[in-house]
Structure 1
Amino acid sequence: MSDTSTPARRPRQLRRTLTHRHIHFIALGSAIGTGLFYGSSGAIGAAGPGVVFVYLLGGAVVYFMLRALGEMAVADPAPGSFAEYCRRYLGGWAGYITGWMYAFEMIIVCLADLTAITVYMTFWFPETPGWVWVAVALLVVGAANLASARWYGELEFWFTSIKVTAVIAMILGGAAILVFNVDTGGSAGFDNLWNDGGLFPNGITGVFSALILVLFAFGGTEIIGVTAGEAADHEKTIPKAVNTVPMRILLFYILAILVIVAVIPWRDITGEESPFVQIFSGLGIGWAAAALNVVVISAALSAINSDLYGAGRVVFGMARQGLSPRIFARLNHRGVPVTTIGVMLIVLLIGVALQLASDTAADMFQNIAALATFATVFVWLMILLAHLGSRYRSRAGDGAEPQARSFPVPLWPVGQYFAIAVILVTFGTMVWMDEYHSALWAGVIFLVIMSAFYPLARRRAAAIQSDTSLRGDETAAD
């Protein structure tokens, strides 16, 4: 008698529809946002003109972190990306807490950007309630994320193009002021870098304080690893993105900040308006504020778009391993984790409603930046530690040898330990400076609460692993 039973249907998988163009602009756009257009004024005020070197320091940390992530992602583009690598090389709790901390980070940044959009839109529509713009923003990015990864990538490409164009225009405008000695009503010149208290007028305290805002600005670049699971040709696209994106981000940031502190004396950058507006105003461009408003709205939408995508994919990957509720592991016929994205959209709506009932975006920015920085550098630290774990396991004979890897990190292991040291200094700064204590405590409390739920996740993960093993044994018996 023949066996008429049908084999178990294979679960749906993410679809590889993101091209190099998509991934390149996704990573570039995730780092060029409100942290540069508005947050840069706070970093300049803290460190002075020497903040340029703080951005270089932060950029070096990002580069080594991304190279570590790139090495692992090219070798194994796993769903859930760095959360899965942490689970594999550091243990179940590490993968669980890294994934949830990343989702926490993305939600925080999304809330800040959504609330900021309500402020930006009052420039043109002062009488319209803020919830209208929140609804419009979530409708746009939600539709793109729910449609397909390719639609998300296309939307992010155009958002990022607007931001990059604005940065280039500001750099060229500032360079024109310096080269042609344009009268801006102030004292523009490279001597602004040292003629008012020197490069670091606020000393080492200012440098450490600026480092918090600088790392916040670079947050989100780790999304490159998340896209590996949907990259059309991950062995080519991921190395290209990891190699070129940090350099271009540094180029944009360093040139932009250098031009700003050369054209505008650092004490005149008060944060009451964006340094970008001050540059354009110096050129006599009266519509500078309106133009920048378009840019910052695009930047905020871009950040929400990427953060929703990144958090959704990481939580989806964790659900496949049992480290988040199983409902988040569902994909629709287009390979999109619709349940995960839908729940996150609801969380964002609730969060923004609570924010609109309390503080304004302007009042919250520094606290949000500090809290997001805690979550960001925690995730970066776990990525670097997972990479160390993968290398040392390879030496022990479990995995590919380092020389056999197609995209090995440079300057091993000096670069990795350097990046880890800077991250530990960042945590130390949050302990040291009173203004960051609330963000530090919020991050620690989140760690404790989520760790308390880990035993439940561990049992769920063990059940999934047991079920997978049983199905494998049945297939082998057939």
Structure 2
Amino acid sequence: MSKNKDNINGGLNRSLSSGQMEMIALGGTIGVGLFMGSTSTIKWTGPSVLLAYAVVGVLLYAVMRALGEMIYITPGTGSFADYATDYIHPLAGYLTKWSNIFQYIVVGISEVIAVTQYLNFWWPHLPDWISGLVVVITLTLANLASAKAYGTLEFYFAMIKVVTIILMIIIGLMVIFLGLGNNWHAIGLSNLWKHGGFFTGGFKGFMFSLSIIVGSYQGIELLGITAGEAENPKHAIVASVKSIVWRILIFYIGAIFVIVTIYPWNQLAAVGSPFVETFTKVGIAGAAGIINFVVLTAAMSGANSGIYSSSRMLFKLSVDKEAPSIFSKLSKHVVPNIAILTI
């Protein structure tokens, strides 16, 4: 069994609520890619991208259900790394921890770079290094404050994304079936098959889209890292696993359905951001600014999760005596401050 089985959270406080855990996993999965990069996935397979998201979602549910069952028994920090150690080999667990750290370092850096570009929308002459430094300092301070502070910040980041997607879906359905913003002439569903059929990319395009979509769901595994600081871990894990997958499927499939139904899939490249265009279509002033704010918070959410996840894994390595002991030091706020600052 894992080396720290008697102290599975390594001395960290259990302060994250069930709602925060759900929103952390949800927010980590719904990122900038849905708002700005969905057209790149659609171009490979056309409207059948809806089926591709559903297929990956079903597989994701099976994985999350299995992970949830194991976390329920041993809800510790970085639990899935422990499972790799316990059920495969210690080397598998070791590599899982380091790969998670490096993955989120890369993700965090890319998200901070994205934030600097989004801020240029309002302040085009602001030097990138200044905006990047402000973002890194802000998120680092939030993570140093407490796990609850991180959870609260992530909760509101995720809420902004969720509300935007819900509005997008509601407005989109009104455009499709009632003709809102289209002189009350319903657009209908014909764009799902009119422009080359449902499977425009054939089998090859469909399979290639699956590989991209799997990557877009990245972040849901944060449930296995936050478990060590969950207030009521068993209740939170059950609630999260039961709800998180179908919520993600609704948000992803709902938003993509609206996009490929309103706009011909092969003209999306000329549309820009479908979210901006949809809000503009129904007369919402400042749609570009609204979506820019949303993707800004989405990028900050990704960087925030990167700091949290990688610092906890570095902490976990130290607790398991696989990294210098200094990284397992806890501050008076009961957070691994050395690990956070190092990351």
Structure number with greater CO (CA < 8 Å, separation at least 6) is 2
Counterpart contact for 1:175–1:259, Cα < 8 Å: yes
Corresponding letter in the other structure for 1:53: L
Residues 268, 274 of structure 2: 8 Å contact kept:
yes
Report what 1:65 is aligned to.
63
| Aligned partner letter, 1:252 | F
Q: 1:292 to 1:325 in 2, by over 3 A?
A: same
CA contact (8 A) 2:10 2:319 kept: no
Residue pairs, 1:67-106, within 5 angstroms: 67-106=65-104
Runs of 5+ unmatched residues, structure 1: 1-10, 345-478
Offset of residue 64 of structure 1: 1.4
Q: Which amino acid aligns with 2:96?
A: T
Deviations 1:75-119 (A, max 9, x none): 011232111111111111100111111112212221221111111
| Structure with greater Cα Rg | 1
Name the SS of the counterpart of 2:47 in structure 1.
coil
CA contact (8 A) 2:35 2:275 kept: yes
Q: Which runs of 5+ in 2 are unaligned?
A: 1-8
C-alpha distance in 2, partners of 1:233/1:166?
29
Contact 2:10–2:316, Cα closer than 8 Å, also in 1: no
CA offset at residue 12 of structure 1?
A: 6.7
Aligned to 1:172, which of 167, 170, 173? 170
1:351-407 Cα deviation digits (max 9, x unpaired): xxxxxxxxxxxxxxxxxxxxxxxxxxxxxxxxxxxxxxxxxxxxxxxxxxxxxxxxx
1:32 Cα deviation from its structure 2 partner? 1.0
Q: What's the TM-score, normalizing by structure 1? A: 0.67
Shift of 1:273: 2.2
Q: Structure 1 residues 271, 87: closer, same or farther in 2, change over 3 A?
A: farther
Give distance in 1, aligned partners of 2:270 and 2:300. 22
2:132 maps to what in 1? 134
- Residues 49 and 194, structure 1, Cα contact 8 Å, conserved in 2: yes
Match of 2:293 in 1: 294
Per the TM alignment, residue 342 of structure 1 is displaced from its structure 2 partner at its CA by 0.6
**For the Cα contact (< 8 Å) 1:12–1:335, is it kept in 2?**
no
Alignment partner of 1:34 is 2:26: no
Aligned length: 334
Contact 2:32–2:298 (Cα < 8 Å) also in 1: yes
CA distance in structure 2 between the aligned counterparts of 1:192 and 1:202, rounded to whole angstroms: 15
Measure the CA separation in 2 of the matches of 1:144 and 1:190.
Answer: 45
**For the residues of structure 2 that align with 1:292 and 1:285, how far apart are their CA atoms?**
11
Q: Deviations over 1:8-63 (max 9, x none)?
A: xxx97100001111111111111111121122111111110110011111112221
1:105-254 → structure 2 map (5 Å cutoff):
105-184=103-182, 188-254=187-253
Provide the rounded CA distance (Å) in 1 between the counterparts of 2:270 and 2:106: 22
Distance 1:181 1:187, change over 3 A: closer
**C-alpha separation in 1, matches of 2:200 and 2:324:** 51
What aligned pairs does 1:322-471 form with structure 2 within 5 A after superposition?
322-344=321-343
Find the counterpart in structure 2 of residue 262 from structure 1: 261
Distance 1:85 1:234 in 2: 17
- CA offset digits 1:221-261 (Å, max 9, x no partner): 00001111111111111111011011101011111110110
The 8 Å contact of residues 179 and 186 in structure 2, kept in 1 or not, is answered as no
CA distance in 2, matches of 1:101, 1:184: 49
**For residues 256 and 204 of structure 2, what CA distance do their matches in structure 1 show?**
20
Q: 1:441 aligns to what?
A: none
Q: Residues 42 and 213 of structure 1 are in contact (CA less than 8 Å); yes or no, is this contact kept in structure 2?
A: no
Amino acid at match of 2:277: Q
Contact 1:46 1:206 in 2 (8 A): yes
Alpha carbons 2:45, 2:205 under 8 Å: kept: yes
Runs of 4+ in 1 over 3 A off after TM superposition: 182-188
How far apart, in 1, do the equivalents of 2:257 and 2:250 lie?
10
Query: 8 Å contact 2:46–2:199 — kept in the other structure?
Result: yes
Deviations 1:153-196 (A, max 9, x none): 11111111111110011111111111212354999331100111
Quote the residue 1:382 is aligned against: none
TM-score by length of 2: 0.93
Q: Which residue of 2 aligns with 1:375?
A: none
Cα 1:137–1:271, aligned 2, differ >3 Å: closer, same or farther? farther
What percentage of aligned pairs have identical amino acids?
Answer: 39
CA distance in 2, matches of 1:169, 1:211: 26
2: CA distance, partners of 1:271 / 1:227: 40
Q: Please state how far the C-alpha of 1:312 moved relative to its aligned partner.
A: 1.3
Question: 1: distance between equivalents of 2:186 and 2:87?
Answer: 55
